[in-house]
Amino acid sequence: MPSVRRYTLTLSCPDRVGIVAAVSTFVASHQGWIVEAQHHADRVAERFFMRQEILAESLPFGIEAFRAQFAPIAESFQMEWNVTDSAQKKRVVILVSKLEHCLYDLLARWQSGELDVEIPCVISNHDGFRKFVEWHEIPFYHVPVTPDTKADAFDKVMHLFDRVQGDVMVLARYMQVLSPKMCDRYTGRIINIHHSFLPSFVGAKPYHQAYERGVKLTGATCHYVTADLDAGPIIEQDVIRIDHSDSVEDLVRYGKDIEKAVLARGLRYHVEDRVLVHGNKTVVFR
């Protein structure tokens, strides 16, 4: 059964009296039907966050008219805001290196309809997954990366992303540190899965670092990519308990299951417009 078309309004602004009333009155004045509403007031930051889903068919105008008519209200409350249309599926470009588990999981969720997005292409610095990706009838691009060609390679990745009109770039165990240029160009649009419970064990071989430290919990973190390595706003995390009898190989094996689940949840929150970023923190309306 096809889902009902909805407009999703997200916003944040300085906290004050009347925000909810103003937004609700705007929707109600046009006979709009709010089917989901979530709010959060951050007392420390003195900032208010909101997400509303509105039945598109209940409004007498389209999304462009919505934007135009809502703009004066947004300006009066100094809102940072956006409204999206569920009929326009997010276009997700996946980047991967040699590890397959996150790629396989995302494509399985996409193929089953659980992940309601379009995947216009997969990009890799290795050629090993070409047949698998193309079997799914998804274009595959091999863009090798070496220390001498990294800048040109990332320029090509950005060109491909723009050419296919990507909305979000997912690093599904793409084992390359992106350039500051790339991070700045797509702020809030690049999602990474890091195989540790950040902020612990950043960088390479975090499972080995965790093993050497003797931790009793290991996990994974889905976060937005910034120029600071593994330090971007966190979207989702999870952990699994380990003990002294577990080897590094055990930690890696346990971690793969967590990585898949955490990345899938984090990506779903993003494409459903459930994540609002403020500074280096996120508000996630589940």
- What is the bridge-based pairing of β-strands 168-171 and 190-194? parallel
- Residue 195's pLDDT is 86
C-alpha–C-alpha distance, residues 154 and 95, integer Å: 11
Asked if residue 243 has pLDDT above 60, the reply is: yes
Asked if residue 1 has pLDDT above 50, the reply is: no
Task: Quickly name the fold that domain 6-85 has.
Answer: Alpha-Beta Plaits (3.30.70)
> Active-site residue numbers?
230
Using left for φ > 0, alpha for ψ between -120 and 50, and beta otherwise, residue 137 falls in left
Mean pLDDT, rounded, for 238-243: 92
The domain locations on the chain are 6-85, 91-284
- What is the bridge-based pairing of β-strands 91-96 and 118-124? parallel
Show the tokens assigned to 258. 């967590």
Higher-pLDDT residue of 2 and 234 is 234
Q: Check for a shared fold between 6-85 and 91-284.
A: no
Architecture of 91-284 per CATH? Answer: 3-Layer(aba) Sandwich (3.40)
Higher-pLDDT residue of 77 and 197 is 77
**Model confidence band, residue 35 (pLDDT cutoffs 50, 70, 90):** very high
Q: What is the pTM of this model?
A: 0.95
Question: 137: closest CA among 156, 119, 112?
Answer: 119
